[in-house]
Each structure stands twice: as C-alpha cells, then as structure tokens.
Amino acid sequence: MADVDEGSFYIELCKTPIRFEPVSKVTNVFYDDANKQVFAVRSGGAGGVVVKGPDDKTSITFRMEDRGPVICIKFSPDKKILAIQRSPKSVEFINFLEDLTTDQLEYSQTCKGKTTEIIGFVWTSSCDIVFITDHGVEYYQVSAEKRTLKCLRTSSLTVNWFVWLAESTMLLLSTGSLGNTLNPFQFRSGTIIKLAKFEVDLPSVPKPPKLTLLERDVSMAIIYGQLYIVILRHQPRTGIVGAEIVLYQIQR
C-alpha cells in the first residue's frame, strides 16, 4: 500500500487498539460506548468475563453464574457496580470491591408493569441508572451498600428505540408509528428534564405506515460545543443525489 502523507486523511486507527476475543458459539462481545469498554462474555459469564478499555492499564477479569444469555452488560462510570440484563423484565447488579473482585451477592430490579419490557438501560451517574422500556423510562438510584434500587422518577410513552449520549446525559426516544417523533430527555441530580419533542422530516411516508426512521440512522454529537441530533437519510429527496446528513440543534 502506498504511503499516505501525514495530514492527508481524516480518520486513522488508534495506535493502541483494544484487542478482544472474537464472537463465537461460546463468546459474546458487547461494547459500552459511555465507558469505551469491550466485554467478552464466555458461556454466560461462567467461562469468564474479560473487560478492556482504551485507558485501562490492565483488563478486568472475573466470573459470574450463568443465568442465561446476556443481552446487555455495563459498568457504572466509577466501575464499582456492574449491571447485567438477561431478560426483558429485569436488570441484575454486582458490586465490585477496591481490588476489582466481586462480592458475589447479586441483586436485581424488575421493571414496572406486567406487560412492560426493557429495551435497554444507561448509567447517568455512578449511582443512577435509567431503564428504557417500551412503555417509557424508569429512573432509579442504586444503593450498593443496601443492594437495593429506589425509583426516583418515571415518564410514560410508547417507545420504539433510543439513543444515548453520555457526555451530555441526553436520552433520545423514538415514538410514533413512523418512528420520526423524537423526545429528548436530560438527567441531572435525580431529576428528569423533558425537552420539547419534534418530528423529523421523511423523504416519503409509506402506506400503510410503518417504522421508517430507525435507530441505526440517528445519533447525537457535540459539534463546536453545541449538541446536535444527527440524521442519516438513505433515501434522497427530489433534486438531491445520494444520501444526506441532517443536523438538528438541541436548545438546552
């Protein structure tokens, strides 16, 4: 491959990339974009869990009981509490000691409502966590000492999918039959700040209506100090060739 002059490219790989075990029949791999950590989970955790991050001098290795396939797994920002989702109804927690060993006593929290299912969860601080369900959001405070969770706030709405930006503690929920109604929420010190919802323009509306704006097409980013919702339009509009990137600025 020909040499590339320095400064003539826009993207390059990190000089110290995270190396992890590949996905296989035994191993599942998860990425936590908030903590920038990769989890390699073998045999549901019974075969070991290896956690690696770009700033970690040493990887974290531990074992946990295999209680079924892991759907999602994330550390709290201070890496003292591990949250594991194995079912659509609850999230389990494990406390970590100063030497990064577990105390082996798990505790869990079930979402509210018999028909409610957890789509995912995010840590908003070292002791606060949000469950995103198909019926809305549930905001909890985690007490590692008591091994319990206290519900701080809830907000009800029918959710298709969500996008999270940890840097601004901003949560974006998709609602509506087309998925293009976006509802921003911000979390601060145990409170939920609900911002004005808005609709994303679509190049065309399918008939009958179906989910058109998908999670893969939406992200959030801080650009020149301003918070934006970034929409990738795959279908070009009339008079425009190729895909588009549309930015919506969030006024805080």
**pLDDT surpasses 60 at 2:** no
| pLDDT for residue 4 | 54
Mean pLDDT, rounded, of the chain: 90
> Structure tokens of 54?
């770009």
Nearest CA to 117 out of 151, 139, 88, 138 is that of 88
Contact yes or no for 103/112 (Cβ under 8 A): no
pLDDT tens, 68-115? Answer: 999 999 999 999 999 999 999 999 999 998 766 677 788 999 999 999
Q: What secondary structure, in 3-state letters, does 157-187 show?
A: CCCCEEEEEHHHCEEEEEECCCCCEEEEEEE
C-alpha 236: how far from chain center: 29
Backbone φ, ψ for residue 236 (5° rounding): -70, 150
pLDDT tens, 26-55? Answer: 999 999 999 999 999 999 999 999 999 876
Dist CA 248 CA 235 (whole Å): 18
Strands of the sheet containing 37-42, edge to edge, are 27-32, 37-42, 48-52, 60-62
Banded model confidence at residue 237, pLDDT cuts 50, 70, 90: low
Banded model confidence at residue 251, pLDDT cuts 50, 70, 90: confident
Question: Which of residues 190 and 119 earns the better pLDDT score?
Answer: 119
Banded model confidence at residue 231, pLDDT cuts 50, 70, 90: very high
CA Rg, the chain, in Å? 20
Cα distances from 67 to residues 45, 84, 95, 106, 223, in angstroms, run 9, 11, 17, 12, 42
| pLDDT for residue 17 | 80
Say which residues have a Cβ less than 8 Å from residue 89's Cβ, sequence separation at least 6.
Answer: 110, 111, 116, 117, 118
Say which residues have a Cβ less than 8 Å from residue 95's Cβ, sequence separation at least 6.
Answer: 80, 81, 82, 102, 103, 105, 144, 147
pLDDT tens, 200-226? Answer: 988 888 889 899 999 999 999 999 999
